[in-house]
Amino acid sequence: MSHSNEDAATNGTMQQKRNIQIIEWEDLDKRKFYSFGVFITLSIRATVYPATLIRTRLQVQKGKSLYGGTFDAFIKILRAEGVRGLYRGFMLNTFTIISGQAYITTYELVRKYVSNYSDDNTVKSLVAGGAASLVAQSITVPIDVVSQQLMMQGQGEHLSRFRLPSKSETGKPKIVFGQTRSIVTQIFSADGLPGFYRGAVASLLTYIPNSAVWWPFYHFYAEQLSNLAPSNCPHIVLQAMAGPLAAATASTVTNPMDVVRARVQVEGRTSIIDTFRQLIRDEGAWGMTKGLSARIISSTPTAIVMVVGYETLKKVSLRPELVDSRHW
């Protein structure tokens, strides 16, 4: 073999190793995947929940009536309600772990199905991400409706339609699941069963595009970073950088609908269009950016933890016979 051919072969090998290798559904040991997945999903949710709570309160408040911004909200909640205040509704929210498992399963299965018709990674990611969000939101919306009402209690309780009884009213200290039961009862009394699906359309219009945008941008940023980084740079580092970039992009694109979704669910509104119009009328175009900084701030650690956790989960769940054939 000539020197030029040897160089070409070497460069080809290096380029192959530089590319971000995607572990597909058929490559996984499913038992490991689901066992480790529950723990990782729960860890991610516990890490980012305070930012989610802050984002919700910022989006629902009128103007800056209570909080001046993300940091101001964090300090005020911490001072007035303590660390527990940052985790209002968290116990109930952990049930969304079911939707988390449904999400990743749907994503991987749809991605595998679409690969029968297209080899384009962007197409596979776009379709699979949207489908996964559709399935997950059908499970998540009722939990979100209740947990968001719990988030608004305490310092932000005047922003909610429903109120928890105080200790003086009941004579007993408030219990976590007692709070949940109280909110569930109030929602059912006021709106019936449809009350638990209030804002479902707004949620779908928020999270399906968010998910559909996130995955293609994630793979795009990862590949671009792999072209810029040294050949010996670990792929997990590039993926951890690509995750927040994709999350910031998706958050910016979908934030206007996320503001509308939060108000529909918390304030009990019935019309997405009327909520949007009132938001523009009262607060102008800037109203569409409410909670965006909190969303991006929360999405950064979320994306890093999620990407590192998810990619690590897939690696440790890789079928044993495939381990040696992969370059990380």
Task: Cite the DSSP H helix spans in 157-291.
Answer: 167-170, 176-191, 200-228, 235-267, 272-283
H or E element that contains 245: helix 235-267
Cβ atoms of 241 and 234 closer than 8 Å: no
Cβ atoms of 104 and 310 closer than 8 Å: yes
Cβ atoms of 326 and 24 closer than 8 Å: no
In this structure, the chain runs to a length of 328
Comparing CA positions, the residue from 150, 172, 170, 169 lying closest to residue 161 is 150
The residue written with tokens 């999400």 in the block is 103
Q: Give the tokens for residue 322.
A: 């495939």
Beta-carbon contacts of residue 77 (< 8 Å; ≥ 6 apart) = 53, 54, 57, 85, 86, 154, 155
Q: Report the distance separating Cα 299 and Cα 245, nearest Å.
A: 9
The residue written with tokens 């009884």 in the block is 165
Query: Tell me, which fold does domain 28-159+174-318 have in CATH?
Result: Mitochondrial carrier fold (1.50.40)
Q: Does this model's pTM top 0.85?
A: no
pLDDT digit string (tens) for the chain, length 328 residues: 444 444 444 344 333 444 667 788 888 888 888 888 888 778 878 888 898 889 888 888 877 778 888 889 999 999 998 999 899 888 888 887 888 888 989 999 999 999 999 988 889 999 999 999 999 888 888 888 888 888 887 766 556 666 666 554 444 444 444 678 888 888 888 888 888 888 788 888 888 888 888 999 998 999 999 889 888 888 889 999 999 999 999 999 889 888 888 888 777 777 888 888 988 888 888 888 888 887 887 777 778 877 888 888 888 888 887 776 665 5
